[in-house]
Amino acid sequence: MTAATHHPAQRVMVLYTGGTIGMQASANGLAPASGFEARMADYLASQPQLQVPQWRFREMSPLIDSANMTPAYWLRLRTAIIEAVEQDDCDSVLVLHGTDTLAYSAAAMCFQLLGLPAPVVFTGSMLPAGVPDSDAWENVSGALSALGQGQPHGVQLYFHGALLAPTRCAKVRSFGRNPFVALKRNGGTPKANTLPGELMYRQPRHEASVGVLPLVPGIGAAQLDALLNSGIEALVLECFGSGTGPSDNPAFLASLQRAQQNGIVVVAITQCHEGGVELDVYEAGSRLREAGVLSGGGMTREAAFGKLHALLGADLPLAEVRQLVELDLCGELA
């Protein structure tokens, strides 16, 4: 399908989760606030030159600062998106979300909504709507206009006039109007020929437990074991360079081997903004592979975290989870 054949949105469901975009002053600082639907309607009515599709509005509960986002909330958001398409007869969805964890949520939804026959766009703002120099309304109207022009099925992130693939981008700035950038990660990983039926959007999901551990000089088995023994089902291991770690530390490698024996999936990604993991290039990487660590290729932290939640939450056999980690499902490794 080419961009020219994407059907323009006719009925958009706007899901408001909270975040800076709708925050208002409180005694303790900016906090999520209800009433954004009326403010959005007033703004769009004041801009008759804007061509946006019809839209409906649903306020998620509770409204949250995105710093409080959780995988459990993702499952509620997933359900709300599916209901918008299958029950409310909407042909597209716009999610309003705080920027701090927006890339995480959008990446997670890429895997949670595989096969959904509708486009989903996430946006937010760096300053609340209505304050001087806010980017809120330009992002809302820009995202609606993009949907009105026709977008492919799947999840995208809209910010500052650009549409980004959530599995290939990250928030890299805490200021300004352009906090998200596409990361230049190595691709070339084989694409899954067919996706298991359990991964399709209509199938049930449950919450999984996934940890993240960045490697630093001198890290040892004690820190790794503390996380592995915390009840997690999978671990995103943020390695140095092309996928290296403390390969001369027998206790560290033994911990990784125990993780595999205990059914914990460990996936290596790079801490670098560009490039990716190739575990067999250096001995320090190949020993991680020998200990059972899987290659995350060029996946971002956000993509790897969201992918593991989706795979484990679908109750796939462990061997299939390990296989699918290293195969491209929706552009995260392309």
Q: Which residues neighbour 231 within 8 Å (Cβ) at sequence distance 6 or greater?
A: 209
Q: Are 101 and 69 in contact (CB under 8 A)?
A: yes
How far apart (Å, rounded) are the C-alpha atoms in residues 162 and 129?
19
One-letter amino acid for residue 32 of the chain: P
CA 319 to chain centre: 24
What six digits make up the tokens of 272? 């670098």
Write out the catalytic residue numbers: 20
Residue 264 identity (one-letter amino acid):
I
Cβ(307)–Cβ(332) under 8 Å?
Answer: yes
d(CA 98, CA 128): 10
How far apart (Å, rounded) are the C-alpha atoms in residues 304 and 104? 10
Residue spans of alpha helices (H) in the chain: 36-45, 71-86, 102-112, 136-149, 221-228, 250-261, 283-290, 301-313, 318-325
Q: How many CB atoms lie within 10 A of CB 91?
A: 18
The two tokens of residue 51 are 């061509």
Torsions phi, psi for 166 (to 5 deg): -60, -30
**What number of other Cβ atoms are within 10 A of residue 97's Cβ?**
29
